[in-house]
Amino acid sequence: MAQVVRSPKVYDVCIIGSGAAGGVAAKVLTEGGLSVVLLEAGPALNPEEDFKEHVWPYELPHRGAGMGGKALKPGNSLEDEFLAPTGAWTIEGEPYTTAPGNRFRWFRSRIVGGRTNHFGRIALRYAPVDFRAKSRDGLGDDWPISYDDIAPYYDKVESYIGVFGTRENIPSAPDGVFQPPPKPRCNEIIAQKACQKLGIPCIPSRLAILTRPLNGRPACHYCGQCGRGCKLAANFSSSQVLIPPAMDTGRLTLITNAMAREIMVGKDGRAEAVSYVDKTNRSERRVHAKAFVVGASSCESARLLLNSKSSLFPDGLANSSGVVGRYLTDSVGVDGMGYFPQMEKIPPHNHDGVGGMHVYVPWWKYDRKNDFPRGYHIEMWGGRHMPSVGMFHHLCEQVEGYGASLKQTCRTRYGAVIGFSGRGEMIPNSASYCEIDPDVVDEWGIPVLRFHFQWGDTEIKMAKDMQETFRAIIEAGGGSYLARTKPDDDHPYGISDGGFIIHELGTARMGSDPKMSVLNGYCQAHEVKNLFVTDAASFVSNPDKNPTLTILALSWRASEYLLEQAKKNNL
Amino acid sequence: MPNRRDVLKALAMGAVGGSVLQVIPLQAAEQAHLMVKQAKAGAAGGPYKPKFFVDHQYQTLTKLCDAILPRDEHSGGAVEAGAPEFIDLLTSENQEYQLRLGGGMMWLDGLCTDRYGAVYLECQPAQQKEVLDLIAYRRNAQKDPSLSQGVEFFSFLRKLTTDGFYTSEIGIADLEYIGNKYLKDFPGCPLVPEW
């Protein structure tokens, strides 16, 4: 048997995962003077070579469709060849399973920066009520922290990474530290006017993309390709915005291709080492530290805790409560779209803008009784963006035929569609969780996750309301409503499969009662004082706002707390 | 008008602070130029050799792509845009496509042989039009279920042909997409549409 390679050094902190949570922790802890080792399961990132920013589809043999037309498979459009590297619905050699009768999709990344290289850059604060939702409607649980606890960290994050937006004083969508937003696109002006008729607010969006230079990063150049990765780092990613300053301190050791297998505990119940697989040579390695920050992504972090069994923690590390893996939620996701004939008259123009919407609809029905308890927001898309594979498939189904008339129809209809995506809050339920599959390991020998996932009635009712709202906005805007998703028994009102919106979270939640939660309000394990889980596994609820900004703020807050405790020798 | 490289250089000069990111723009520009050069060099290598379709099937594919999106007064057609190459490449890597397209073309040849005594390629233009008019619309299969496999085949090929055409230089110019640039400011909407 090959010998386990043990590093003689004991670092102050070992961080697992280099995405939003791990990136912030690396920055705050190294700048605070600690020595940090950061384990990333994927390779290093080289933006100049890895990002396909500004590449035309015809410069690639598969035109963006990927090997065998992979990206053209329904539900796979995210996996086109332009997406920043190693973000995928499937990772060869690293499977996960779903329980019979359940559907769950898990988008993972294996590269420095993780999914911050790919995400939509939407940066929304949770509202005060989001931390106290149970007190209001009796569902789910309240957070052990309040908006006032996290607000200073939202300020720090926004000031550092750069977020554009406007001050609106909407209770469901707190204002932040904002750069000026870009002007709206044509389709967004139509949507705004339509919303105005209906009394629905449609305000400048809030995205982590620079419209002004900040900390050595230039402002956006408006190519609309943030998802490909930005070579200039005008958008936010952990890899380009958080890891470099941590590196600059000289106190960060980054180990790539390091797949964490288990966190080991000493006799005193404190975590003392991480055992990991060096993927480059399939060797077993171990690294020691005085404290540990887990930020491997919600479900990957839960998997690591569940796989870290010992005589002290037979059900997984810090899991005497049995809560690890439970309370799994994703955002309710529903898409709809409309055809707007007036858009055919707009002359050709550069519509690209930033890589995401310039306006959005924050949750607005918080002041009335609805058929469902929580809220949703509406994102939008469409217009004359760069042609891509799949763009005319829906039109082909509608108009059929062939020849010069088909070509003319494509030309006329190009850019005349506006799409809407509702993203809403799911209430945790007992049928939605992840656990270790007893029969399956990945190619590194690490037991994999098995998912259970079911939407509840409240989510289905919310999906219905989303479709009705899309239709109302489209018709008020002079368009005709086209169902984008085919509602069927499995997907009522077009509701997405669990995990598909990539806001999966809650699997090691914080709380004040150690019997009902894994972590305290500082993301510190109740049972293991030198163990922190600072990614979205720590979330108590999944409000309609995309989770990344809150991950950054929570991890920043947890890291400052860890620093203080380290100084006081309390770990 | 400044070229991409000048724009990038200007962006780099404008950047402040001690970040390593300042060195990226020029390298990024070099990389972009290199990629375009490589793509162009690769394109100039004689006639395309199909990876999956046998000769007469590749000719049939080409003929069908041309019928779906032909040259017109605005622009060249799907064949000039490289749609058959694109479809052949994807099909060579995908067994499902091999069945749907390879089998679909065999189905089409079978239908043509039954009706006209010749495979699609050898049919008269009027006969080819007649048969495409049958399989280009779902309603025809509702009337005559024996056409449904052909309608499914043509529907799939039509989608892939639009993919091949509208991701080409010719197709992108046909749509008058004028983005993918470096802008200092986003100009907004040139004409606020009324309705």
Q: Say whether both B66 and B36 belong to one domain.
A: no
State pLDDT tens for residues A246-294: 999 999 999 999 999 999 999 999 999 999 999 999 999 999 999 999 9
Encoding tokens for residue B105? 């073309």
Contact with chain A for residue B57, Cβ under 8 A: no
The number of distinct structural domains making up chain B is 2
Same domain, yes or no: B64 and B155? yes
With a cut of 90, say whether residue A5 has pLDDT above it.
no
pLDDT score of B192: 79
Q: How far is A122 from chain B (nearest CA, A)?
A: 19
Does residue B169 sit in the same domain as residue B81? yes
Chain B partners of A402 at a C-beta cutoff of 8 Å? 67-69, 132, 136, 154, 158
A297-327 pLDDT, tens digit per residue, is 999 999 999 999 999 999 999 999 999 999 9
A342 touches chain B (CB under 8 A): yes
Confidence band of B44 (pLDDT split at 50, 70, 90): low
- Domain extents in chain A: 1-45+109-121+124-161+236-322+506-571
DSSP A546: -
Say if B170 falls within a structural domain: yes
Which chain A residue has the Cα nearest residue B8?
A232
Give B23-26 contacts, CB < 8 A, sequence gap 24+.
B24/A47, B24/A48, B24/A231, B24/A232, B24/A233, B25/A218, B25/A231, B25/A232
What is the rounded average pLDDT for all residues in chain B?
84
Closest residue in A to B12 (Cα–Cα): A218
Q: Do A190 and B137 touch (CB under 8 A)?
A: no
Query: Do B31 and B71 reside in the same domain of the chain?
Result: no
Pair (B116, B59) in one structural domain:
yes
**What share of chain A has pLDDT > 90, as a percent?**
95
Question: What value of ipTM does the predicted structure carry?
Answer: 0.92
Residue B73 lies in a domain: yes
**Predicted pLDDT at B23:** 34
pLDDT of residue B47: 86
- Tokens, residue A447: 């037991």
More confident residue, A77 or A563: A563
Q: Taking a C-beta distance cutoff of 8 angstroms, is the pair A335, A399 a contact?
A: no
Q: Which residues contact A313 (CB under 8 A, 6 or more apart)?
A: A265, A319, A320, A527
Q: Do A389 and B25 touch (CB under 8 A)?
A: no
**Residue among B94, B167, B183 minimizing CB distance to A64:** B167
Is residue A393 within 8 angstroms of chain B, CB to CB?
yes
The answer to whether residues B30 and B62 belong to one domain is no
Residue type at position A270:
R
Q: Which of A296, A230, A229 is nearest to A21 (CA)?
A: A296
List the single range of A38-52, A469-483, A508-522, B25-39 with lowest mean pLDDT: B25-39
pLDDT average, residue stretch A179-194: 97
Q: Is a pLDDT exceeding 80 seen at residue B40?
A: no
Task: Count other Cβ atoms within 10 Å, centred on residue B133.
Answer: 12
CB atoms A221 and B138 under 8 Å: no
- A49-70 per-position pLDDT tens digit: 999 999 999 999 999 999 999 9
When mean pLDDT is compared across A40-54, A219-233, B32-46, B78-92, the lowest value belongs to B32-46
In the prediction, which pLDDT does A374 show? 97
Q: Is position B113 within any domain?
A: yes
- Contact yes or no for A402 and B158 at CB 8 A: yes
Same domain? For B71 and B152 the reply is yes
Is the CB of B72 inside 8 Å of chain A's CB atoms? yes
Given a cut of 70, whether residue B30 has pLDDT beyond it is no
**Domain of residue B20, residue span:** 4-43
Same domain, B82 and B106: yes
Q: Do A233 and B70 touch (CB under 8 A)?
A: no
Give the mean pLDDT of A196-201.
98
Give the residue among A19, A4, A24 at the shortest CA–CA distance from A261: A4
Pseudo-torsion of CA B98, B103, B109, B112, nearest 10°?
A: -130
Q: Tell me, what's the pLDDT at A300?
A: 98
Residues B36 and B122 in one domain: no
Per the structure block, which two tokens stand in for A458? 């409240």
Contacts of B30 (CB under 8 A, 6+ apart): none
Q: Note whether A128 and A109 are within 8 A (CB).
A: no
Helices B55-68 and B104-116, packing angle to 10 deg? 90
Interchain pair A244, B19: CB under 8 A: yes
**Class of residue A426 by CB neighbours under 10 A (exposed 0-12, middle 13-18, buried 19+):** buried
Q: Which residue of B has its CA nearest to A247?
A: B20
Query: In whole angstroms, what is the distance from residue A238 CA to residue A178 CA?
Result: 19
Q: Are A241 and A233 in contact (CB under 8 A)?
A: yes
- From CA B56, how far away is CA B61, in angstroms rounded? 9
Residue A424 has pLDDT above 80, yes or no: yes
A345, A389, A548 from A394: Cα distances, Å: 21, 12, 32
pLDDT digits (tens, 9 = 90+) for A522-538: 999 999 999 999 999 99
CATH of region A1-45+109-121+124-161+236-322+506-571: 3.50.50.60
Q: What mean pLDDT value characterizes chain A?
A: 96
